[in-house]
């Protein structure tokens, strides 16, 4: 909402700087986003035309001598209206003026000394357009004669416009008077109400026109007046200036007045040409389905039976509170008008405007459910201005059809104790009464508090808290004390899902991985790149996607992490070790989707940063597996990895992750991404190792393992441990897992760790060498070398029997 | 001790020259710090060769004494300078036996990191956790009922224009949406729990909004709610003021002004002074009685306050990030800066 300060000042005196005013309005709820200043131009002053002489070489140009206070200047001027003795706006060399001849609006040019048809022009006499205060450029702007020569033009023409970001609860501030009322409450300066009285000399209005409301649920009140003998024409300068200052285009005096009153009081109005309303009878009813109306903008609108129509006995003449009809529009030949000021149903008005895409200043107000009291005020104000500006004679009385009378809430009960209860501070009764009184509330006091009458301009007030906010915002939030929250602290509730996600996230960060967060939506095609299994639940589709890139909610994080790898592969030369812990959305058709917490991580590029003592190997399967092991170790869960097939991953290089202790429940997958999948992401890397953990499954494992051993202290064995290294030759098909499992069967072996693998020279074709360190420790005695030797032999025998292992001889 | 005779002035001068030659040659071959030290003792020490020569001057004629003495003192100066240079040279190029190149980079453990949004969410939630607020989470795909209706934002009400919504396309129902704020958790938490309530709710939110440097359709919010008997606007101010001190520093100027959100009354905007400009950090207010009643709470008994803020916005401010779209681009050149 744009509020010119000169307009605001008509209703309240402003005795502080504009910056202070803007600050105080902002603090009390009407945020002033900016103050625009127009008409303030350096090097432009009030000048006095001393003489006008013909130009020696051009008939249409004249030489004008201007007294600008500090001296005289001779100016070449083409304006037909310049005359000796006028006060004008004189721009000296260097003034930056609007370029009156530029195509685009707002272009400026700096005034230079120039020769016009052989005569040097020492400055310029300005038009309205050149000064940037309007469009007129047919002649120069003539200023009032009482101005002092040399006065900076800003002091005469300057306007400051407050740009207020209104909140949706304050339709009263969609009128300048509403803002003035807030200023009045803040500053204590009285509000000067605009006059709404008018002299009615014509016949009884009821003999001239009638109004009927057929659908009173959508029209609380309809007031109308009739003015005969008006003269349609351009509005006077002051009215045009008011509208121009807020960015509205003046049309004719009648239309301008209805607009002016809407911006002054917040009540939208409409004027009909009396002679075009058949039988001079207005019927307010719902349209019939498919009924058509050509609106003022010349477009034919197809209506439905929930839209409220203003009609005469034969046809629609206006879309109630949205836009007038072309058939009853005010024209230059109009002599009698019916002026409408009504209260339409907010929600209905909003739906109509939305479905016809006819958002207007009227709907901006009506949709906020204006109170019916405002319509009569608006009607009277506009009628007065029409008589003043367009002349004519007002019919006696007004038409007032008021089916909503008495149906609106009229007052709010406010107890003194409620103020303390909500704000935590007490105010004196006098202060409360003064604060609310300055805002226009009428209070009837009793021993506990007040009955507060809701004024006609405040539809947002309905409960005591609304009034408490009024008090607080005018007193100033900064003047309310600051206390610490006391009372009972609530009971802590376990949040296992969130805790698990944070724990896993932290473990991955400690393992050197970088957390990423991707958009939760994707496209079906995008997601299909990772070859999700067909049995995956269906995706949630977005009804109004923000763009073609985001049409469904994601069902996997695999696509996201591969996109992240691909994006960074083009710009990042170091290791890529990234993960995302987030939700996927699985639609099972009933109610809300399953928002499942997943973690996906990926490794690509070199394993290490470039370093003098680090390998330059590319990361691979074992980096992903190691990250999974680190996380699950941290949770105290022991895992089994089992070779598996998964279309995202390369076959033979993929494993499902199973929890040993929980019946081998699958909690995720780890592997190297299949080449064809990777190629769909344009990743500039040779391979990507990826893991996926289903946190819901992990959580279930943790919940089910009632005998939760993790985290329980185990007394360690104080007897010495011995270790022996074995170098075995086995078939290449034998897995390290098998060797470790066999070695671990003996309870004296506390750990079996493979520390070297070798194939090639010195090892027969089809075989591999595996070096394994076994640690032997008995809980109750120190083992002798003989005893260890015996156990070792047993293990070797078992290895030989089961996987054909033989000791490697050097 | 060098024997010096009356008639051996020339010899004495020559012996200064001898000492010089011996010293220079010995210095060249001294490598280790031990060798250098013994050179210093031999030639420049209190019992060294040069001192001995100077002590023997007494036996010469005064004139000769002056000549030889001056030469010897000159030599001392020269040798001292040569010694200093040699020490410096040896320090820079000739490391002691067993020394290592301490300029080689160390073996840094690989370090990962949390996403800046996560970092900010944790910082914000921790500040409230320490004031007794527990962190809880809620669904991102939400029902209209929780996202709007229960929060006193009825259908077709102009207040809904503050939240442009992305809806779920479903054959069976039309009231499913992507939550536009974390506020639906106010209704959910109250519906499921009796007072007292003190929670903070971080999570993703979605708006039907075109994106640019300062707008994202996908972002995080942190919601807060405290409800009990006796909670006041002054408590709201105190709690949020304390929060602002923690996140923005104890000397940061904070202001509270009136603002409007349909689910609170009175409504609050908390701004901080950022280089002379007031920047809105969060919206807040006293929980609207209708919201309490909708959740089954007796609004004549209970009061409360709620607040909501955007961690990305706070992070942008503190870290001088000029484009919000960086947060979900997952560019390591961005992420590794945090």
| Other CB atoms within 10 Å distance of the CB of residue A525 | 10
Pair A638, A516 in one domain = yes
Per-residue model confidence (pLDDT) at position A578: 98
Pair A257, A149 in one domain = no
Q: How many CA atoms, within 13 angstroms, populate the side-chain half-sphere of residue B41?
A: 6
Query: Does residue A800 belong to the interface with chain B, where contact is any CB pair within 8 Å?
Result: no
pLDDT of A613 strictly over 60? yes
Cβ atoms of A8 and A187 within 8 Å: the answer is no
Structure tokens at A612: 């003098």
Kind and range of the H or E run holding A514:
strand A514-515
Of A105-109, A291-295, A679-683, B205-209, the one with minimum mean pLDDT is A105-109
Per-residue model confidence (pLDDT) at position B64: 79
Distances (CA, A) of A724 to A738, A773, B160: 19, 6, 74
Cβ atoms of A649 and A678 within 8 Å: the answer is no
Pair A214, A344 in one domain = yes
Judged by CB atoms closer than 8 Å, whether chains meet at A490 and B328 is answered as: no
Instruction: Return d(Cα B20, Cα B260) in angstroms, integer.
Output: 94
Average pLDDT of chain A? 93
Tell me, what DSSP letter sits at residue A479? G
Of the pLDDT bands very low, low, confident and very high (cuts 50, 70, 90), residue A30 is: very high
**% of residues, chain A, pLDDT over 70:** 99
A494: nearest CA partner in chain B: B136
Cβ atoms of A1 and A8 within 8 Å: the answer is no
B327: nearest CA partner in chain A: A517
For tokens 């005010």, name the residue. A330
Task: With respect to residue A615, please indicate whether it lies within any of the assigned structural domains.
Answer: yes
Question: How far does CA A101 lie from the centroid of its chain?
Answer: 39
Per-residue model confidence (pLDDT) at position B42: 86
Pair A450, A384 in one domain = no
Per-residue model confidence (pLDDT) at position B189: 97
pLDDT tens sequence across A718-740: 888 999 999 999 999 999 999 99
Task: With respect to residue A305, please indicate whether it lies within any of the assigned structural domains.
Answer: yes
Of A209-213, A248-252, A717-721, the one with minimum mean pLDDT is A717-721
- We report the CATH number of the domain holding residue A206 as 3.50.40.10
Q: Contacts of residue B105 in chain A, CB cutoff 8 Å?
A: 611-612
Query: Does residue A295 belong to the interface with chain B, where contact is any CB pair within 8 Å?
Result: no
List, as own/partner pairs, every contact residues B316-325 make where C-beta atoms lie below 8 angstroms and the sequence separation is at least 24, other chains included: B317/B274, B317/B279, B318/B247, B318/B248, B319/B116, B322/B213, B323/B213, B324/B213, B324/B214, B324/B215, B324/B216, B324/B219, B325/B211, B325/B213, B325/B216
Give the domain-ending residue among A474, A506, A522.
A474
For residue A465, the distance in angstroms to the closest alpha carbon of chain B comes to: 6
Instruction: Return d(Cα A405, Cα A590) in angstroms, integer.
Output: 47
Closest CA to A27 of A484, A483, A479, A482: A479
Judged by CB atoms closer than 8 Å, whether chains meet at A515 and B330 is answered as: no
pLDDT of B271 strictly over 90? yes
- We report the CATH number of the domain holding residue A7 as 3.30.56.10
pLDDT tens sequence across A632-675: 988 888 899 999 999 999 999 999 999 988 888 999 999 999 99
Is B207 marked active-site? yes
Per-residue model confidence (pLDDT) at position B141: 97
Per-residue model confidence (pLDDT) at position B3: 46
Per-residue model confidence (pLDDT) at position A699: 93
For residue B267, the distance in angstroms to the closest alpha carbon of chain A comes to: 8
Residues of A (409-448) whose Cβ lies below 8 Å from B: 421-425
Judged by CB atoms closer than 8 Å, whether chains meet at A168 and B158 is answered as: yes
Query: Does residue A402 belong to the interface with chain B, where contact is any CB pair within 8 Å?
Result: no
Cβ atoms of A470 and A418 within 8 Å: the answer is no
When CB atoms are compared, the residue of B131, B257, B286 closest to A485 is B131
Task: With respect to residue A463, please indicate whether it lies within any of the assigned structural domains.
Answer: yes
Task: With respect to residue A766, please indicate whether it lies within any of the assigned structural domains.
Answer: yes
Sign of the four-CA dihedral A461, A466, A470, A473: negative
Instruction: Return d(Cα B111, Cα A568) in angstroms, integer.
Output: 18
Is B111 marked active-site? no
For residue A496, the distance in angstroms to the closest alpha carbon of chain B comes to: 10
Judged by CB atoms closer than 8 Å, whether chains meet at B266 and A472 is answered as: yes
B331 compared with A589, residue with greater pLDDT: B331
B210: nearest CA partner in chain A: A546
Judged by CB atoms closer than 8 Å, whether chains meet at B257 and A493 is answered as: no
Task: With respect to residue A192, please indicate whether it lies within any of the assigned structural domains.
Answer: no
Structure tokens at B32: 């280790």
Q: Is A399 exposed, middle or buried (0-12, 13-18, 19+ CB in 10 A)?
A: buried
When CB atoms are compared, the residue of A480, A540, A613 closest to B107 is A613
Structure tokens at B230: 């006796």
Pair A224, A369 in one domain = yes
When CB atoms are compared, the residue of A508, A517, A612 closest to B104 is A612
- Helix axes of A416-423 and A429-438: crossing angle, nearest 10 degrees: 90
Task: Choose the most confident range, by mean pLDDT, from A180-194, A706-720, B97-111.
Answer: A180-194
Tell me, what DSSP letter sits at residue A283? E
DSSP three-state, residue A582: strand
- Helix axes of A429-438 and A176-187: crossing angle, nearest 10 degrees: 150
Query: Does residue A467 belong to the interface with chain B, where contact is any CB pair within 8 Å?
Result: no
Of the pLDDT bands very low, low, confident and very high (cuts 50, 70, 90), residue B73 is: confident
Per-residue model confidence (pLDDT) at position A713: 82
Mean pLDDT of B251-280: 95
For residue B157, the distance in angstroms to the closest alpha carbon of chain A comes to: 6
Query: Does residue A480 belong to the interface with chain B, where contact is any CB pair within 8 Å?
Result: yes
For residue B289, the distance in angstroms to the closest alpha carbon of chain A comes to: 8
Is B167 marked active-site? no
Distance linking the first and last C-alpha atoms of chain A: 92
Distance linking the first and last C-alpha atoms of chain B: 73
| Other CB atoms within 10 Å distance of the CB of residue A575 | 22
Q: Contacts of residue A367 in chain B, CB cutoff 8 Å?
A: 158
Structure tokens at A369: 């459910």
Cβ atoms of A244 and A157 within 8 Å: the answer is no
Pair A574, A668 in one domain = yes
pLDDT tens sequence across A257-267: 999 999 999 99
List all residues 6 or more positions away from B191 whose beta carbon is below 8 Å from its beta carbon.
Answer: B295, B296
Per-residue model confidence (pLDDT) at position B44: 85
Of the pLDDT bands very low, low, confident and very high (cuts 50, 70, 90), residue A236 is: very high
Domain count, chain A: 6
Q: Does the model's ipTM exceed the 0.90 cut?
A: no
Is B89 marked active-site? no
Sign of the four-CA dihedral A126, A130, A134, A138: positive
Pair A72, A124 in one domain = yes
Task: With respect to residue A486, please indicate whether it lies within any of the assigned structural domains.
Answer: no
Provide the residue range defining the domain that includes A454.
411-474
Give the domain-ending residue among A377, A401, A425.
A401
DSSP three-state, residue A321: coil
Instruction: Return d(Cα A701, Cα A661) in angstroms, integer.
Output: 9
Pair A183, A299 in one domain = no
Give the domain-ending residue among A368, A401, A434.
A401
Q: Is A230 exposed, middle or buried (0-12, 13-18, 19+ CB in 10 A)?
A: buried
Of the pLDDT bands very low, low, confident and very high (cuts 50, 70, 90), residue A711 is: low
Q: Contacts of residue A695 in chain B, CB cutoff 8 Å?
A: none
A181 compared with B38, residue with greater pLDDT: A181
Pair A727, A753 in one domain = yes
- Specify whether the backbone of A150 is left (phi greater than 0), alpha (psi in -120 to 50) or beta: left
For residue B88, the distance in angstroms to the closest alpha carbon of chain A comes to: 29
Catalytic residue among B200, B201, B221, B313: B221
Cβ atoms of A208 and A279 within 8 Å: the answer is no
DSSP three-state, residue B117: helix
Per-residue model confidence (pLDDT) at position B5: 47
Per-residue model confidence (pLDDT) at position B13: 60
Instruction: List the domains of chain B with CATH numbers.
Output: 9-93 (no CATH), 116-335 (3.30.930.10)
List all residues 6 or more positions away from B172 whose beta carbon is below 8 Å from its beta carbon.
Answer: A589
Is B163 marked active-site? yes
pLDDT of A75 strictly over 70? yes
Structure tokens at B4: 């010096």
Mean pLDDT of A700-711: 72
Cβ atoms of B256 and B160 within 8 Å: the answer is no
Of A152-166, A329-343, B247-261, B281-295, the one with minimum mean pLDDT is A152-166
Per-residue model confidence (pLDDT) at position A810: 55
Pair A577, A654 in one domain = yes
Instruction: Return d(Cα A428, Cα A416) in angstroms, integer.
Output: 9
For residue A606, the distance in angstroms to the closest alpha carbon of chain B comes to: 12
Instruction: Return d(Cα A457, Cα A373) in angstroms, integer.
Output: 8
Cβ atoms of A413 and A449 within 8 Å: the answer is yes
A543: nearest CA partner in chain B: B169
Is B23 marked active-site? no
- Annotate A363-376 with three-state secondary structure: HHHHCCCCCCHHHH
Task: With respect to residue A712, please indicate whether it lies within any of the assigned structural domains.
Answer: no
pLDDT tens sequence across B75-91: 888 888 888 888 777 66
For tokens 């990234």, name the residue. A578
Instruction: Return d(Cα A809, Cα B40) in angstroms, integer.
Output: 60
Pairs of CB atoms within 8 A across A/B: 250
Closest CA to A75 of A9, A121, A139: A121
Q: Contacts of residue A468 in chain B, CB cutoff 8 Å?
A: 265-266
Cβ atoms of B13 and B67 within 8 Å: the answer is yes
- Helix axes of A464-475 and A416-423: crossing angle, nearest 10 degrees: 70
Judged by CB atoms closer than 8 Å, whether chains meet at B112 and A546 is answered as: no
pLDDT tens sequence across B289-305: 999 999 999 999 999 99
Pair A415, A452 in one domain = yes
Query: Does residue A545 belong to the interface with chain B, where contact is any CB pair within 8 Å?
Result: yes
Judged by CB atoms closer than 8 Å, whether chains meet at A490 and B132 is answered as: yes
A341 compared with A661, residue with greater pLDDT: A341
Buried b (16+ CB within 10 A) or exposed e, A108-137: eeebeeeebeebebbbbbbbbbbbbbbeee
Structure tokens at B46: 């209190």
List all residues 6 or more positions away from A671 whose beta carbon is below 8 Å from its beta carbon.
Answer: A621, A624, A644, A646, A648, A649, A650, A653, A654, A655, A689, A690, A691
Judged by CB atoms closer than 8 Å, whether chains meet at A564 and B330 is answered as: yes
* Interface mutation target, options A19, A28, A482, chain B, most CBs of B under 10 Å: A482
Cβ atoms of A552 and A522 within 8 Å: the answer is yes
pLDDT tens sequence across B161-203: 888 999 999 888 899 999 999 999 999 999 999 999 999 999 9
Sign of the four-CA dihedral B115, B116, B117, B123: positive
Q: What is the largest CA-CA distance in chain A?
A: 131
Could you tell me where the beta strands, DSSP code E, fall in A558-643? 576-586, 594-604, 639-643
Pair A396, A417 in one domain = no
Task: With respect to residue A480, please indicate whether it lies within any of the assigned structural domains.
Answer: no
Judged by CB atoms closer than 8 Å, whether chains meet at B332 and A585 is answered as: no
Judged by CB atoms closer than 8 Å, whether chains meet at B233 and A515 is answered as: no
Per-residue model confidence (pLDDT) at position B4: 45
pLDDT of A770 strictly over 60? yes
Could you tell me where the beta strands, DSSP code E, fall in chain B? 134-135, 141-143, 168-169, 176-178, 197-206, 218-228, 254-258, 264-274, 277-287, 303-309
Per-residue model confidence (pLDDT) at position B95: 64
Per-residue model confidence (pLDDT) at position B9: 57
Per-residue model confidence (pLDDT) at position A664: 86
Closest CA to B4 of B43, B71, B55, B59: B59
Average pLDDT of chain B? 90
List all residues 6 or more positions away from B334 whose beta carbon is below 8 Å from its beta carbon.
Answer: B326
When CB atoms are compared, the residue of B110, B158, B266 closest to A367 is B158
For residue A597, the distance in angstroms to the closest alpha carbon of chain B comes to: 11
């Amino acid at each position: 909402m744009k509020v010119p300060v000169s307009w605001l000042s008509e209703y309240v005196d402003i005795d502080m700087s504009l910056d202070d005013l803007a600050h105080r309005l902002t603090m009390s709820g009407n945020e002033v986003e900016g103050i625009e200043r127009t008409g303030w131009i350096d090097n432009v002053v009030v000048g006095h035309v001393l003489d006008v002489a013909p130009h020696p070489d051009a008939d249409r140009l004249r030489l004008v001598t201007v007294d600008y206070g500090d001296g005289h200047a001779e100016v070449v001027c083409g304006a037909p209206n310049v005359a000796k003795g006028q006060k004008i706006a004189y721009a000296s060399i260097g003034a930056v003026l609007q370029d009156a001849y530029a195509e685009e609006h707002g272009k400026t040019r700096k005034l230079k000394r120039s020769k016009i048809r052989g005569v040097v022009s020492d400055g310029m006499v300005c038009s309205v357009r050149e000064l940037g205060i309007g469009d007129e450029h047919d002649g120069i702007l003539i200023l009032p004669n009482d101005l002092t020569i040399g006065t900076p033009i800003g002091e005469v023409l300057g306007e400051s416009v407050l740009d207020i970001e209104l909140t949706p609860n304050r339709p009263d501030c969609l009128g300048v008077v509403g803002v003035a009322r807030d200023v009045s409450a803040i500053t204590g300066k009285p509000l000067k109400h605009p006059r709404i009285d008018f002299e009615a000399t014509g016949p009884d209005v009821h003999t001239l026109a009638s109004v009927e409301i057929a659908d009173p649920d959508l029209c609380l009140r309809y007031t109308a007046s009739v003015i005969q003998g008006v003269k349609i024409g351009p509005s006077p300068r002051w009215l045009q200036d008011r509208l121009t200052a807020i960015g509205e285009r003046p049309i004719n005096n009648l239309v301008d007045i209805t607009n002016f009153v809407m911006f002054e009081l917040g009540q939208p109005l409409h004027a009909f040409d009396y002679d075009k309303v058949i039988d001079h009878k207005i019927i307010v009813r719902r349209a019939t389905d498919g009924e058509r109306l050509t609106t003022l903008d010349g477009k034919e609108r197809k209506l439905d039976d929930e839209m409220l129509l203003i009609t005469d006995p034969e046809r629609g003449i206006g879309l109630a509170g949205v836009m007038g009809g072309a058939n009853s529009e005010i024209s230059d030949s109009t002599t009698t008008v019916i002026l409408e000021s009504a209260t339409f149903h907010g929600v209905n008005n909003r739906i109509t405007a939305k479905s016809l895409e006819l958002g207007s200043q009227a709907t901006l107000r009506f949709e906020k459910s204006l109170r019916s009291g405002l319509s009569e005020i608006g009607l009277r104000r506009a009628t007065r201005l029409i008589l003043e500006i367009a002349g004519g004679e007002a019919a006696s009385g007004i038409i007032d059809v008021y089916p909503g009378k008495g149906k609106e809430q009229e007052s709010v009960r406010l107890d003194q104790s409620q103020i303390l209860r909500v704000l935590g501070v007490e105010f004196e009764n006098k202060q409360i009464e003064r604060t609310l009184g300055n805002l226009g509330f009428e209070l009837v006091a009793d021993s506990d508090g007040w009955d507060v009458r809701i004024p006609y301009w405040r539809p947002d007030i309905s409960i005591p808290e609304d009034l408490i906010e009024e008090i607080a915002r005018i007193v100033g939030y900064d003047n309310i004390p600051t206390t610490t929250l006391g009372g009972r602290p609530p009971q802590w509730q376990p949040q296992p899902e969130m805790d698990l996600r944070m724990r896993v996230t932290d473990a991955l960060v400690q393992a050197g991985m970088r957390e990423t967060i991707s958009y939760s939506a994707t496209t079906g095609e995008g997601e299909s790149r990772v070859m999700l299994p067909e049995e995956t639940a269906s995706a949630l589709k977005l009804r109004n996607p923000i763009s073609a890139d985001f049409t469904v909610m994601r069902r996997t994080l695999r696509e996201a992490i591969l996109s992240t790898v691909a994006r960074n592969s083009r710009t990042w030369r170091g290791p890529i070790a990234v993960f995302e812990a987030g939700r996927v959305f699985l639609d099972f058709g009933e109610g809300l989707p399953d928002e499942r917490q997943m973690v996906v991580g990926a490794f690509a590029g070199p394993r290490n940063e470039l370093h003098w003592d680090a390998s330059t190997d590319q990361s691979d399967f074992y980096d992903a597996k190691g990250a999974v092991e680190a996380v699950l170790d941290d949770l105290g869960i022991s895992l089994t990895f089992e070779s598996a097939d998964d279309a995202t991953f390369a076959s033979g290089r993929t494993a499902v992750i199973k929890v040993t202790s929980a019946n081998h429940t699958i909690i995720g997958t780890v592997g190297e991404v299949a080449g064809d999948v990777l190629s769909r992401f344009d990743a500039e890397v040779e391979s990507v190792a990826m893991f996926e953990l289903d946190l819901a499954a992990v959580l279930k494992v943790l919940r089910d393992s009632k005998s939760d051993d993790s985290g329980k202290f185990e007394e360690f064995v104080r007897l010495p441990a011995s270790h022996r290294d074995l170098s075995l030759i086995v078939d290449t098909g034998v897995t390290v897992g098998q060797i470790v499992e066999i070695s671990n069967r003996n309870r004296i072996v506390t750990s079996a760790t493979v520390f070297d693998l070798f194939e090639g020279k010195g090892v027969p074709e089809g075989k591999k060498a595996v070096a394994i360190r076994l640690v032997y420790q008995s809980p109750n005695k120190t083992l002798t070398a003989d005893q260890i030797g015996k156990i070792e032999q047993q293990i070797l025998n078992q290895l030989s029997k089961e996987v054909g292992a033989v000791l490697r001889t050097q | 001790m060098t024997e010096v005779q009356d008639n051996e002035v020339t010899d004495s001068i020559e012996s200064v020259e001898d000492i010089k030659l011996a010293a220079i040659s010995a210095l060249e071959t001294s490598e280790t710090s031990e060798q250098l030290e013994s050179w210093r003792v031999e030639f420049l020490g209190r019992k060294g060769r040069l001192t001995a020569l100077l002590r023997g001057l007494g036996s010469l004629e005064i004139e000769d004494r002056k000549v030889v003495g001056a030469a010897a003192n000159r030599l001392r100066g020269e040798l001292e300078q040569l010694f200093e240079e040699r020490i410096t040279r040896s320090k820079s190029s000739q490391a002691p036996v067993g020394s290592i190149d301490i300029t080689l980079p160390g073996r840094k453990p690989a370090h990962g990191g949390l996403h800046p949004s996560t970092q900010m969410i944790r910082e914000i939630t921790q500040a409230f956790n320490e004031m007794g607020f527990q962190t809880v989470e809620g669904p991102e795909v939400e029902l209209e009922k929780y996202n709007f209706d229960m929060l006193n934002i009825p259908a077709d009400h102009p207040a809904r224009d503050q939240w442009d919504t992305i809806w779920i396309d479903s054959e069976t129902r039309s009231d499913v949406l992507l939550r536009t704020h974390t506020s639906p958790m106010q209704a959910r938490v109250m519906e499921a729990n009796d007072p007292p309530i003190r929670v903070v709710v971080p999570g993703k939110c979605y708006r039907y909004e075109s994106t640019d440097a300062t707008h994202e359709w996908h972002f995080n919010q942190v919601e807060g709610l405290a409800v009990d008997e006796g909670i006041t606007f002054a408590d709201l101010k105190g709690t949020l003021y304390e929060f602002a001190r923690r996140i923005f520093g104890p000397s940061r100027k904070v202001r509270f002004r009136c603002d409007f959100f349909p689910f609170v009354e009175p409504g609050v905007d908390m701004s901080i002074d950022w280089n002379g400009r007031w920047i809105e950090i969060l919206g807040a207010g006293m929980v609207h009685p209708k919201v309490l009643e909708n959740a089954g709470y007796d609004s004549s008994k209970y009061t409360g306050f709620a607040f909501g803020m955007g961690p990305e916005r706070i992070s942008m401010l503190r870290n001088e990030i000029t484009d919000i779209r960086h947060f979900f681009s997952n560019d390591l050149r961005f992420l590794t800066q945090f």
